[in-house]
């Protein structure tokens, strides 16, 4: 057994953090995880509940919450604070006799490089973000592509789409692998479908409230079904201050067009149970998504999926087999795809069955754990005998 430190600058319950939780709580006996977070939050609480050691080393809030695309005058001050914080983390890693650092966010990748250097141990960057515009600014993408070639000893990407944006194709010396953030729940619906009210068909969108997630595209589509027995559920909430304005815009849109068939559910704890009550899952990101964990979760309970034809979702959804892929950011193709799903119940059911089969074949957590735990020795081998 050897000890790996997992670093993340946030403890919020979001995509990358859910993937980290799933990985750690399903880790095999070869790895002893130590989780180092820069704040308290749901991720820390849930990991402690499962008996995992979590250390909180507080990072300055202004640095922790700084938008990664913000390269204003305070960037130098933030960089200095992150460097000092990295040294503090490095001292902890030496004390805890950690043999490898696994970073889980772009910010933790930066200070994790300092920590790994200070502790004298190998560094792995786990990239959950598309490293190109418009997902992040061009200059930020350029810097990250430059750093990824020099700082980490190994790179894990959450999809082939993400890996491709790192431009490591010609880097033979850089150790790299793709590990999908996988599903570890039960396959199939987890509860009986509730008795329907006046609506005959339920469309569900799950995800953080943010403009690039495209909830507004779903609202535009919902207007075409306002006189029909179709309801739309939007599950998720704004996690960052910048997202609150967008959330208010969505609420104003619903009120303006009197979309009584739309319900914004806010944060939902048991998302699997909610999915079991829906007929269709939609994914409306307007820019390429790095992966699309919620798509896998929906497919696992037997939901057909309509998803944006860009980024990670293209690796998950098989067009016209497990769902439909449509151009991102356009409501008209979404309306047509939803109507097709409503009009073809038998095909929709078959898509749901094929979706469950695809999850079992490609996206179970055991495969993710195997990929990552077999990657660790490759990276560590030059410094530690395992």
Kindly list the domain boundaries of the chain, sorted by start residue: 2-182+365-380, 201-362
Task: Give the number of other CB atoms < 10 A from CB of residue 48.
Answer: 12
pLDDT at site 386: 46
CATH superfamily for domain 2-182+365-380: Glycogen Phosphorylase B; (3.40.50.2000)
274 touches 233 (CB < 8 A): yes
Q: What is the pLDDT of residue 171?
A: 67
Instruction: Give the whole-angstrom CA distance, residue 363 versus residue 293.
Output: 10
pTM greater than the 0.85 cutoff: yes
Please, is 366 exposed, middle or buried when counting C-beta atoms within 10 Å of its C-beta (0-12, 13-18, 19+)?
exposed
pLDDT of residue 207: 93
What pLDDT tens digit does each residue of the chain (386 aa) get? 899 999 999 999 888 898 999 999 999 889 999 999 999 999 999 999 999 999 999 999 989 988 877 777 788 899 999 999 999 999 999 999 999 999 999 999 999 999 999 999 999 999 999 999 988 999 999 999 999 999 999 999 999 999 999 999 876 678 999 999 888 888 988 776 655 556 789 999 999 999 999 999 999 999 999 888 999 999 999 987 879 999 999 999 999 999 999 999 999 988 999 999 999 999 999 999 999 999 999 999 999 999 999 999 999 999 999 999 999 999 999 999 999 999 999 999 999 999 999 999 999 999 999 999 999 999 998 555 44
2-182+365-380 and 201-362: identical CATH topology: yes
Report the CATH architecture of 201-362: 3-Layer(aba) Sandwich (3.40)
Q: C-alpha angle 16/19/21, rounded to 5°?
A: 110
The reported pLDDT for the residue numbered 197 is 57
> What strand order describes the sheet that includes 230-235?
262-266, 230-235, 201-206, 280-282, 305-308, 323-326
Q: What is the pLDDT of residue 92?
A: 98
Residue 82 phi/psi, 5° resolution? Answer: -65, -35
Residues 154 and 379 sit within 8 Å (Cβ to Cβ): yes
């Amino acid at each position: 057994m050897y000890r790996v430190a997992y670093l993340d600058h946030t403890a919020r319950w979001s995509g990358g953090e859910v993937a980290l939780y799933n990985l750690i709580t399903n880790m095999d006996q070869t790895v002893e995880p130590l989780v180092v977070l820069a704040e308290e939050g749901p991720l820390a609480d849930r990991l402690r509940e499962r008996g995992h050691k979590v250390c909180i080393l507080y990072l300055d809030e202004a640095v922790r919450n700084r938008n990664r695309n913000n390269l204003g005058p305070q960037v130098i001050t933030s960089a200095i604070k992150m460097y000092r914080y990295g040294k503090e983390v490095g001292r902890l890693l030496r004390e805890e006799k950690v043999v490898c650092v696994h970073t889980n966010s772009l910010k933790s990748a930066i200070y994790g490089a300092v920590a790994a250097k200070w502790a004298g141990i190998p560094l792995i960057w786990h990239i959950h973000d598309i490293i190109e515009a418009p997902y992040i600014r061009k200059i930020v993408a350029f810097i990250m592509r430059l750093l990824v070639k020099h700082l980490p000893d190994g790179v894990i990407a959450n999809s082939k789409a993400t890996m491709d944006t790192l431009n490591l194709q010609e880097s033979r010396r850089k150790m790299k692998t793709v590990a999908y953030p996988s599903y570890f729940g039960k396959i199939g619906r987890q509860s009986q479908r509730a008795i329907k009210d006046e609506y005959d068909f339920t469309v569900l969108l799950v995800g953080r409230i943010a403009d690039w997630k495209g909830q507004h595209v779903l609202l535009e589509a919902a207007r075409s079904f306002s006189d029909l027995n179709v309801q739309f559920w939007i599950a998720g909430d704004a996690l960052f201050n910048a997202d609150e304005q967008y959330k208010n815009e969505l609420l104003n849109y619903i009120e303006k067009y009197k979309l009584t068939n739309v319900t914004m559910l806010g944060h939902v704890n048991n998302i699997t149970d909610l999915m079991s009550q829906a007929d269709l899952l939609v994914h409306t990101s307007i820019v390429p998504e790095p992966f699309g964990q919620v798509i896998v979760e929906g497919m696992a309970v037997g939901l057909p999926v309509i998803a944006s034809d860009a980024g990670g979702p293209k690796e998950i959804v098989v067009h016209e087999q497990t769902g439909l892929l449509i151009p991102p950011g356009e409501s008209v193709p979404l309306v047509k795809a939803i109507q097709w799903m409503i009009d073809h119940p038998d095909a929709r059911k078959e898509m749901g069955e094929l979706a469950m089969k695809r999850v079992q074949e490609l996206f179970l957590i055991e495969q993710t754990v195997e990929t990552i735990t077999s990657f660790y020795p490759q990276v560590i081998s030059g410094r530690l005998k395992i």
